[in-house]
């Protein structure tokens, strides 16, 4: 179809090889531009996911800290405290999956899991 359109738009004196070469070059440039756009969209989506996991992890940590400050006499055997701690562990694991560049990431996770015992 693109070749047919190119033939209609091409002056009569222009050789067919040069028209085909132009179409190939235009297609190659379009493909490169499309790949760049797709990569930019993928990076944007990854950044949004990292931001969301950061928010979730922060919110879960804030809820757990608030509960601990309000309930100094209770430990994590309390159902509410246990649920908040499990939520924090879950959110931290997801956070660590999306932020793979964090070094020694497992140490805080192990600390939280030890609080459950």
86-117 pLDDT, tens digit per residue, is: 999 999 999 999 988 888 878 888 888 888 87
pLDDT of residue 113: 86
pLDDT of residue 14: 61
pLDDT of residue 104: 80
User: Is the pTM above the cut of 0.75?
Assistant: no
Rounded Cα–Cα distance for residues 5 and 115 (Å): 70
**Number of domains into which the chain is organized:** 1
Is 70 exceeded by the pLDDT of residue 24?
Answer: yes
Structural domain including 91 reads: 2-115
Distance of CA 106 to the CA centre of its chain: 20
pLDDT in tens, 29-76: 889 999 999 999 999 999 999 999 999 999 999 999 999 999 989 888
Q: CB-based contacts of 61: which residues, under 8 Å, 6+ apart?
A: 88, 91
Q: Where are the alpha helices (DSSP H) in 71-98?
A: 79-98
pLDDT of residue 54: 95
Residue 104 gets the label, from left (phi > 0), alpha (psi -120 to 50) or beta, of left
């Amino acid at each position: 179809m693109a070749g047919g359109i190119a033939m209609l738009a091409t002056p009569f004196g222009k050789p067919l090889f040069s028209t085909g070469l132009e179409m190939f070059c235009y297609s190659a440039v379009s493909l490169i531009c499309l790949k760049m756009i797709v990569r930019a969209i993928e990076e944007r989506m990854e950044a949004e996911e990292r931001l969301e996991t950061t928010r979730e992890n922060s919110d879960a940590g804030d809820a757990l800290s608030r509960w601990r400050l309000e309930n100094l006499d209770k430990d994590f055997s309390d159902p509410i405290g246990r649920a908040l701690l499990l939520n924090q562990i879950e959110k931290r694991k997801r956070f660590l999956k999306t932020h793979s560049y964090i070094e020694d990431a497992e140490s805080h996770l192990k600390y939280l899991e030890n609080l459950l015992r």
